[in-house]
Structure 1
């Protein structure tokens, strides 16, 4: 249960529009990024939201990892992204992998402002 949960809100994103609006492209990018950083992909689901005119209006997606997950949500109309990377450290410490993945995905969106939090989860108190 011990792990690292990284959470960020990205504002004024200036990266490729396709990452904000193309579910298939964002899915391929996120899955490949997880693998590049040594995490084990066991599934994924990405969905494109459409506005009343049928145009793309943002993507929500999750990559399920043996180590836990990556979740991402885009709001292209306001240039914002929320990112969530959680890894457990049961069999080994995956914290550096999580930090590297988080940094890469954050940088891909080229945000002007980042609000980031890191939560150590499942820390057991000494008896």
Structure 2
């Protein structure tokens, strides 16, 4: 793949040596649409790191995070890339998640695919405007509330019908 192709995917080509480890260079943007905010991990009062993507325990079940599969039917504005980007940002804000970067790609003649990478995981989108259909995956760990994204998406795209499925990821991790 060419250097330009990797840039369009939001990938850095350079790597730096940090304490003997070869690590990607994060001083510059890793997305073609946004720069990444610096995310810090603060020590908790118990001396452990407080991660934004920590495991969750609810009603006696411990899991990595909630993964919502959201299908919108007879939806509108599914080819409006700036509108989709703003809607993803609203989802992230209302869910209490942390945006790292967004990359959206328009297709010809219609459609948008992309991902918002979060400290807590991701939101992906694939649209078929000619069919009025959009598929969203909302996966969030930690204290984020991915279920709040459902109302945001329904308000934004006014589907005639929506369907939501939930997977609790990582339930088998010891």
TM-score normalised to structure 1 length: 0.78
What are the within-5 Å matches in structure 2 for residues 1-127 of structure 1? Answer: 2-13=64-75, 15=76, 17=77, 20-51=78-109, 57-89=110-142, 93-94=143-144, 97-124=145-172
The structure where strand makes up a greater share of residues is: 1
5+ long unaligned stretches in structure 2? 1-54, 56-63
TM-score normalised to structure 2 length: 0.58
In the aligned structure 2, how far is the partner of 1:38 from the partner of 1:115? 23
Q: Which moved more, 1:57-66 or 1:111-120?
A: 111-120
Task: Say what the alpha-carbon RMSD is for the aligned residues.
Answer: 1.8
1:74-105 CA distance string (max 9 Å, x none): 1110101001100123xxx33xx210123211
In the aligned structure 2, how far is the partner of 1:4 from the partner of 1:36? 16
- More relative contact order in 1 or in 2 (CA 8 Å, sep 6+)? 1
The structure where helix makes up a greater share of residues is: 1
Number of residue equivalences: 112
SS of residue paired to 1:35:
helix
